[in-house]
Structure 1
Amino acid sequence: MASFGENIFLCLIVSIFVTSGLIIFILSVSISVKTSQKTVDSNDKHPIGNLGEDAVLSCNYLTSTTQMVLASRVSITWEKEGLSEVVYQYDKGTVQLTGQSPRFKDRTQLFLDAIGKGNASLLVRTVRLSDEGVYYCSVSAPSGTGTAVVNFRVAAYSAPTFQLTNSTLTASALKWFPKPSVSWLDANGNIVNTSDTEFFSNSIGINQLMSSLQPIKRFEIYTCIIQNQLVKAVSTATVTDNSISSRTFFSFTTSAASPILQIRWHFLASTASFSVFVYQLT
């Protein structure tokens, strides 16, 4: 039978082994977390640009949490799959555009004041259909080097405007691409089949649409849904005695098979017009 002293000694040995195991486990978890962090990454790997408007391709690199990185120690190169020239290049404090593709001349820039904070995002002005494609953001910084991949897709979309004529409610949208489908719902969320939709496309396939719903009731709320595989616009139109107020929610797919990531709220009324941007992950 073990003595009291031997029992104390065994307990100490077990305690040492248990403590050592816990320390090793904590260190291994800490190391795995650090190694799992990407040096260069994108907050939005599947952005959707609106034709003719500006878009931002997200790219970030790791920095210290206590101090900024000197921009003169950072090199950033944006490239597009299928192009031999660069989209944009920044090398240790200097913009280098001698090898830039002509299609991006005067249309791209970095946020120079934010480079030292880890921001390597690219602003693309006046988005074109030809801008769609896979982009590579390569960064070399004191924290390391790496490349983020961004799949940029281009669509055309606009919030519809509503007009009330007698017992007919008409929704008109100036630009949609790819060609969307249009549906209407009543105040109870039931599909209304008494609608007529016309499309007018230009030489590059951008669609203007006009959809009419009749007969409608005064002091009711109707919903017009315009959507394609990239963008969905849900517009609610509240009909009063002689006016209409409306608001539109835009949602965008993160990829071909992903849920909605971004929502934009666009409000239109007879006396006011403003847009509010809200980002959420569902």
Structure 2
Amino acid sequence: MVESTCGRIYLKRMTFFLNLTSLFFSLSFYLVVIALEEKVIVSKLGDNATLSCIYRGRELYLKNLRVYWQIADDQEECSVVHALISGQDNESEQCIHFKNRTQLFWDRLENGDFSLLLLNVSQSDKHTYKCVVMQKTEYTKMVHQAEVVLSLAASYSKPILSGPIRNSDSTGEEVTFSCRSGNGYPEPNVYWINKTDNSHLHPSELKITPHDDGTYSVFSTLKVKATSNMQIECSVENKILQENLSANYTQQKQNNSSSIESHKNLEKNGRGAQAAGIISVVILIGLLAVLTCWLRRRRSSKLVSYTGNEALYLPDQM
């Protein structure tokens, strides 16, 4: 009897332990699933952003629903972004910052899509948003919730890279490069790269300036010793948008030689054209001289002929 009783107690304890272990793993799995349901979306400043909240359970009736979009940060004084009560928008508790900037997709509500469209996204909209769907039957209960993290970004302009125009004897001298870009968000990463060996160079100066619209501009300089074959790249990275814009500099020595050669060719062509012009003028003067002489000789011959005829005519009259 004692052994049988001990066996039953041991079996009950083992069963309880197994159930507890199973519950623990179930809760752990459930928590992991909830964590994976949090969505992160990226929106550019000034664009419209869609905050997703989709319920895939049983059919719901709008008249029995309350849908709340709110800021999940408890530190905010006003947290109501949008509210739908009994099938109608309710703006009584909506934050002023979101007035006339939010709307639901009415043609999707009956299908369980409670996503929110946020218009003209600004820097102050960077929050974690929570969607709560509640159903009222005999009592009010929550049937769905979702969280959306809204990250903001703006593309930077193509970098402008300025560098020295080298002379043939400037090798070994310290030269300065500058790189600038703007109208981006968030703060960028700036890289200087020596393209001859793809090594990273440390900037001499890096200045990031915030603007009133929330965007940033960046200015950076690089000082290096001049070499016979300089190839420098400035790269501006926006991590959120996964954009990497770059500008390149290649030594200008050969270009200067080409410019000098081109200038010499232009001078030669100019001299040739000048000589041709002079020759043309000389030929024209010669032709005019020949024509003038011919006209004079012709006129002289006519005068001689006229005088001779007059002399022959006079004796006959006498």
1:233 aligns with 2:270: no
Deviations 1:68-109 (A, max 9, x none): 766555432112243456210123432222221111101111
Q: Distance in 1 between matches of 2:215 and 2:48?
A: 18
Verify: 1:162 aligned to 2:170, yes or no. Answer: no
Asked if 2 retains the 8 angstrom alpha-carbon contact of 1:41 and 1:148, the reply is no
Match of 2:146 among 125, 145, 148: 148
Gaps of 5+ in 1: 1-27, 242-282
Output the CA distance in 1 between the equivalents of 2:117 and 2:34: 17
Aligned partners of 1:41, 1:203: CA distance in 2, in Å? 35
8 Å contact 1:221–1:236 — kept in the other structure? no
Asked if residue 173 in structure 1 is aligned to residue 167 in structure 2, the reply is: no
Q: Secondary structure at the match of 2:159?
A: strand
Provide Cα deviations, 1:22-65, integer angstroms capped at 9, x if missing partner: xxxxxx9xxx8xx959999985534444444332322221146x
Equivalent position to 1:78, from 48, 69, 73 = 69
Structure having the higher helix fraction is: 2
Matched, 1:93 2:90: no
1:123 to 110, 117, 122: 117
Q: Which amino acid aligns with 1:112?
A: W
The AA in structure 2 aligned to 1:181 is: N
- The CA deviation at 1:236 is 4.5
**Are 2:70 and 1:61 equivalent residues in the alignment?**
no
Cα distance change of structure 1 residues 163 and 223 upon mapping to structure 2, 3 Å threshold: closer
CA 1:184–1:117 in structure 2 vs 1: closer, same or farther (change >3 Å)?
Answer: farther
What are the superposed Cα offsets for residues 118-150 of structure 1, whole Å, 9 maximum, x if unpaired? 322222222233333332211136997122233
Identical aligned residues as a percent: 24
Tell me: CA distance 1:57–1:40, structure 2 relative to 1, closer, same or farther (3 Å).
farther
More strand, by proportion? 1
Gaps of 5+ in 2: 1-21, 165-176, 252-318
Other-structure match for 1:190: 199
Worse-matched range after superposition: 161-170 or 90-99 = 161-170
Asked if structure 2 preserves the Cα contact closer than 8 Å seen for 1:195 and 1:211, the reply is: yes
Aligned residues: 205
Partners of 2:39 and 2:31 in 1: CA distance:
16
Distance 1:137 1:205, change over 3 A: closer
Deviation at 1:239, TM superposition (A): 7.4
Question: Does 1:138 pair with 2:132?
Answer: yes
- Residue of structure 2 aligned with 1:201, choices 200, 210, 221: 210
Q: Distance in 2 between matches of 1:237 and 1:115?
A: 48
Counterpart secondary structure, 1:161: coil
Instruction: Specify the SS of the correspondent of 1:87.
Output: strand
Quick check: which has more Rg, 1 or 2?
2
Q: Give the direction of change, closer, same or farther, for the CA distance of 1:221–1:83 in structure 2 (3 Å limit).
A: same
Partner of 1:112: 106
CA distance in 2, matches of 1:150, 1:203: 27
**Whole-Å Cα distance in 1 between the matches of residues 131 and 55 of structure 2?**
10
> How far apart, CA to CA, are the structure 1 residues paired with 2:129 and 2:245?
33
Pair 42,78 (structure 1): closer, same or farther in 2 beyond 3 Å: farther
Question: Conserved in 2, the CA contact under 8 Å of 1:175 and 1:206?
Answer: yes
| 1:193–1:123 Cα change, 3 Å | same
Structure 1 stretches of at least 4 aligned residues deviating more than 6 Å after TM superposition: 37-42, 213-218, 238-241
Are the equivalent residues in 2 in contact too, given 1:184–1:191 (CA < 8 A)? yes
Provide the TM-score with structure 1 as the length reference.
0.53
